[in-house]
Amino acid sequence: MAFTSTTPVSSLIGANLNGSDATALFALGTIVNANNGTRFEYVCCSGTFTTGYMVLVNPSGTAWAYTTALMTQGIALTGGQDIAWAQGLINRSEYGWVAKQGRDIYVLCTGTMTAGSTVGVAVASTGRLRGQPTGEANSTLMGVYITTATTTAEASIGVATVTWPRPIASLTAT
């Protein structure tokens, strides 16, 4: 499944937002803007990531599998890491572009996801998004708005608008 926002609007010649490279073609951490207000970052992948896979990008430009274990350890809250999603297949130790924000971003989901959730989405232990039970904390991800519902219990690819994805530790106001 190829990402729908594949047209770079930044002046970056040769950026293939749907592919991967065996050798680095750009500096890690390079940002490119695409249509639909989408921003991509060039990374080296620590694992094989399929379309919609959620990753944690560290300041040096390495993408790691994003799981609830990282959230509960507080890793995603400190140190300048960002959350992003692979928009196509990127193999382990290869280089590619991951989507950090914008419209029509593919996100890997587990279970039923309702379009337009107002309480945030949760991150399953696999790094996939899932529906957010009311009052649940420590795995809540804000800044992700599901625009296409998913209804299967297995892994499926949904579509989201991503503004500024960030984990929160509590659903209550402080």
Ranges of each domain in the chain: 20-102, 106-164
| Measured distance CA(67)–CA(123) in Å, rounded | 7
Q: List the Cα angle 40/44/45 in 5-degree steps.
A: 100
| Tokens found for residue 136 | 């649940």
Classified as helix, coil or strand, 72 is helix
Question: 62: closest CA among 23, 39, 93?
Answer: 93
Question: Residue type at 20?
Answer: S
Q: Are 106 and 149 in contact (CB under 8 A)?
A: no
Q: What does the DSSP 8-state code read for residue 76?
A: G
pLDDT band at 71 (very low <50, low <70, confident <90, very high): low
- Indicate whether this model's pTM tops 0.85: no
Read off the pLDDT of residues 111-130 as tens digits, 9 standing for 90 and up.
777 787 656 687 776 778 88
| Burial status of residue 93 (CB atoms within 10 A of its CB: 0-12, 13-18, 19 or more) | exposed
Q: List the Cα angle 77/80/83 in 5-degree steps.
A: 70
